[in-house]
Structure 1
Amino acid sequence: MTEQSSRFRFTKSPHVPALTVLQAAMHDFSYDRHAHEEYAFGVTLAGRQDFFSGGEFHRSPPGNVILFNPEEVHDGQPGGGETLDYVMVYAHPRQLEALFADALGHEAATDFRINETLIQDPVLRRDILELVRLVTTQVGSCIDQENALYRLIARSVQLAGALQPNHVASRPDTLLGFAREYIHSHLSEDVSLDDISQAAHLSKYHFLRLFRRQFGMTPHQYVINCRVNAARAALDAGTSLNEVAFQYGFADLSHFNRRFKRIYGMTPRQYQSHITT
């Protein structure tokens, strides 16, 4: 199998907002380091899934569950020379806040994070695969998909243990948070490293070192990643390719195609055709 014959298919739930399923088969393809705005819940079906995340290199054999928190930098490629088959469920944090809160028995649960990246749990695996089945085969009602998503979240919280202690933000966390907010607020502008480091109240090169250590990518790579994610949301809404490319600062469609494919495994046109069928 060549890179061109690797298969990626995105399916959006017709019932649950901001819920998307990816079915992928990869042999000679690898993702660039990137991060999604969503939570991601995946299952390795066949082959081995090798990836960097959280400052560590991971190997996921068949049957393993993979969990990514929002904005968690990772890459991915097949390992061991075999074709990698896997599925991934993406759900936006806004969609899951109430579910996490209910599963925790709290009134609110913003910014809930799951500490484990690789999990061997047959119940969670079953819950993810059932939600994938409901979305990709377009069977069942809205309440069926909502119930399947709730079971997935409830099991994730159960595996995470009792209430996780609140994370007390350090000063670098806070300053880098300012930088991320600035980037997200200026995605359609030609921002510079000076602009972003000033927003973080740090010198340019101190900021660059701190950012790379924290997120595993340069600020430039992060800006491109955020632009591609924003472009994906615009494609979901039916915006034309040319308009999306221009709005988010890509030089031309060819440049947009290359950047998008390194994160989503397909061109923007292919992606838009998937989610509108």
Structure 2
Amino acid sequence: MDHPVKWQDSYVASKHITILTGEQLKIPGVRVFGKQHMTSAVSPLSTHYHENAYEFVLVSEGSFTFTVGDETYDVSGGDVFLSFPNELHSTAQSPLSLGGFFWIQLDISVMDNFLFLSEEARGHLIEALSSMTAHVIKAENSALVSLCKKTFKLALENEAYAAASHFVYLIYAILEASKKISSVRTEDIQQVINYIHDHVTHDISLYDLAHLSNLSLSHFKQKFKKQIGVSPRNYINIQKIELAKKLLKEGKSKTETAMLLGFNTSSYFSSVFKKYTTKTPSEYTK
């Protein structure tokens, strides 16, 4: 894998790509809002992450492939690809093909006047975002694209307050679309989700989960990813790492945390932790 880069966009205004940064947007919490249209394929995006920021990539037309860890996600017109704060992602070796997309980087480390919201409203929005687990949100129509185009137009016109209100609406629309993924969970997959949450400190076997759902391992993995948006192993690791963050902040050592979460060795725990956060446990607690 290429060396991960802490990605930082710069202002660009050209025929096929426009990137607005915080300096142009003047909306607290919106680090970047970009739009790109490809008439021919361009080079793949290398492995990178966005410090303390969610990134929403909303595809307006065409199809694109993104990679998170060992997982590959195909998105097409109307879909949203979501990367979480500090999460490594790329387009692997897949060039950006014909088509277009918007992208928004939402910096959740901004505390004051976030999207011009009150402290309570900011807290509600951040909590809602933290409940998301899927990397791909599929919209049923082009409403998200239309809303994103309108928001971008307002941003270009320096209408910061109007654009911010549209950002809030757009984010909640994406959240609502993501809930529809959860709402179609079948009973067997929901049972597996409950089991993972109840046994997150254990060494959870995919074979046991497949047996619990009365499916073959391959069928179970396919069905889980289709309904949840990530592979079962990825989902388990996400839950473990979220709990690990809390334990480390509470003063547990790396070794204690690894043992509590069912990792075989502290070195393996450290490698998984860094894969999902870009930091080692020691770096995280500094």
Paired residues of 1:41 and 1:128 also in contact (CA < 8 A):
no
Shift of the alpha carbon at 1:179?
Answer: 8.9
1:143 equivalent in structure 2: 161
Structure 1 residues 7, 211: CA separation in 2 closer, same or farther (over 3 Å shift)? farther
Counterpart contact for 1:48–1:62, Cα < 8 Å: yes
Structure 1 Cα separation of the partners of residues 46 and 103 of structure 2: 14
1:122 paired with 2:133, answer: no
Q: Which residue of structure 2 aligns with residue 22 of structure 1?
A: 34
Tell me the residue number matched to 1:73.
Answer: 88
CA distance in 1 between counterparts of 2:122 and 2:247 reads 32
Contact 1:97–1:108 (8 Å) recurs in 2: no
Cα contact 1:46–1:62 (8 A) shared by 2: yes
Q: CA deviation at 1:199?
A: 9.0
Match of 2:241 among 169, 173, 176: 173
Instruction: Compare relative contact order (CA 8 Å, sep 6+) and give the higher one, 1 or 2.
Output: 1
How far did residue 74 of structure 1 move?
1.9
Match of 1:209 in 2: 268
State the secondary structure of the residue aligned to 1:109.
helix
Structure 2 equivalent of residue 271 of structure 1: none
Change (3 A) 1:41 1:97: farther
Identity of aligned residues (%): 12
Shift of 1:47: 4.4
- Is the 1:35–1:71 contact (alpha carbons within 8 Å) kept by the matching residues of 2? yes
Mark the CA change 1:178 to 1:206 in structure 2 (over 3 Å): closer, same or farther.
farther
Corresponding residue for residue 57 of structure 2: 42
CA shift digits 1:24-44 (9 cap, x unpaired): 456123221535421222222
CA contact (8 A) 1:100 1:154 kept: no
Partner amino acid, structure 2, of 1:9:
I
TM-score, normalized by length of structure 2?
0.51
* Unaligned ranges ≥5, structure 2: 1-15, 184-192, 202-239
| 1:236 equivalent in structure 2 | none
Matched, 1:132 2:152: yes
> Over aligned residues, Cα RMSD in angstroms?
4.8
Shift of 1:83: 4.5
Amino acid at match of 1:122: S
Extract unaligned runs of 5+ from structure 1. Answer: 1-5, 183-195, 228-277
What secondary structure is seen at the aligned counterpart in 2 of 1:66?
strand
Alpha-carbon displacement from aligned partner over 1:46-80 (angstroms, at most 9, x marks no partner): 54321113752111224422223334432225747
Structure 2: distance between partners of 1:18 and 1:129:
19
